[in-house]
Amino acid sequence: MTKKANFKLSSKRALINPTPLAFPKSFVALLILSVPFLLVGIWITGSYFGFFSANLGGNVAETRILLIVGLVFLLSGLGIFLFAFSHLLKILFKKNLRKRHPYEAWLWDYSWNRRGQTHSFLKRLLYNLFGFFLVLGIFLPGLYIAYVKGSMPLFFKVIMSLFVFLYLWICIREIIKTLKFRSVRCLYTQFPYRIGKDFSVNLEGLPNAKSIESISCKIKCYEFRVIESSKSNKKVFERVSVELYSEDIPLEISHIKDGRVGISGRFPNKKSLGTDFTKNDYICWELSVNAKVPGVDFNYAFILPVYN
């Protein structure tokens, strides 16, 4: 019997996804997936505003709820389409860079920002707001039927209400965290960093020193391996992260001024630990900052460009 292949992710790390330079089927699939979302969204919103001769039916409240659902589908489809299309263009650009600079992988193997990496305030805020309205838009008709029409079993009312409430609570918590700490940045002092050499980075957007009970900083090197296993006559491929190197970087709370601090250290002199996104089992470096602040889970990680 031929075993079917299946792929899943199994890692406690936030997976770094380098864009493969081969023509990726996943982005083409996303483009195709965006079409039904766009069609449904265009049909509902177009019908509401009279561009199509479709009768949405129901009273004013019900048609407005359908309009919200239509807008959610329209924006979701548009977002998926733009995401996939932009990544396809990025692949073409990277292929051109690889031809021109075959021995300088940091120019084309990953979308590096030479200045550093930022956990953007606006991007995180928009992600949380979009996620909330997406879930609310999808479940809003069900909530309306459940509580206004009263035709839904109590069990489904409870499950749906708990789901929306839980997601709302998570979004509000993340929004408060985002508004409180704004953008958190790791600014590189050089690009790229080199294995076996000294390094320094500048962190911005940290909590006020007076509110921090404790803080720790580490540099880590991970290899993301693809492990094959067999389950129920299927081949399962799991991508797991394996920590190859870890070192604590001294960071004193008293050194933090206006949410900014500079840290420095030295990378180990091991050529095998150089960043390499060209292999299937790729290697990358991370700088993590964990601060204990009352009421807030302040944990951020930044990718470091550490090459041979």
Domain count, the chain: 2
Residue 95 has pLDDT above 60, yes or no: yes
Same domain, 223 and 285: yes
Quote the pLDDT of residue 221: 93
**Who has greater pLDDT, 142 or 71?**
71
277 is a domain residue:
yes
The average pLDDT across 228-237 equals 72
Same domain, 113 and 160: yes
Same domain, 128 and 198: no
284 is a domain residue:
yes
Per-residue pLDDT reduced to its tens digit, 234-248: 777 677 888 899 999
Residue 190 has pLDDT above 90, yes or no: yes
- Residue 8's pLDDT band, with cuts at 50, 70 and 90, is very low
Quote the pLDDT of residue 202: 94
The average pLDDT across 255-262 equals 88
Same domain, 166 and 233: no
Same domain, 61 and 160: yes
Domain boundary among 181, 205, 228: 181
Same domain, 76 and 155: yes
4 is a domain residue:
no
Residue 216 has pLDDT above 50, yes or no: yes
6 is a domain residue:
no
Same domain, 198 and 171: no
139 is a domain residue:
yes
Same domain, 225 and 162: no
Same domain, 286 and 207: yes
5 is a domain residue:
no
Quote the pLDDT of residue 266: 93
Same domain, 171 and 28: yes
Task: Name which of 142, 179, 175, 172 is nearest 159 in CA terms.
Answer: 142
Domain boundary among 148, 181, 214: 181
Residue 152 has pLDDT above 60, yes or no: no
Highest mean pLDDT among 78-82, 119-123, 228-232: 78-82
Q: Global pTM?
A: 0.66
297 is a domain residue:
yes
1 is a domain residue:
no
Quote the pLDDT of residue 50: 77
Same domain, 93 and 25: yes
Domain boundary among 181, 210, 236: 181
Q: Which domain holds residue 249?
A: 184-307
Residue 151 has pLDDT above 80, yes or no: no
Same domain, 270 and 139: no
CATH of the domain at 250: 2.60.40.640
- Residue 15's pLDDT band, with cuts at 50, 70 and 90, is very low
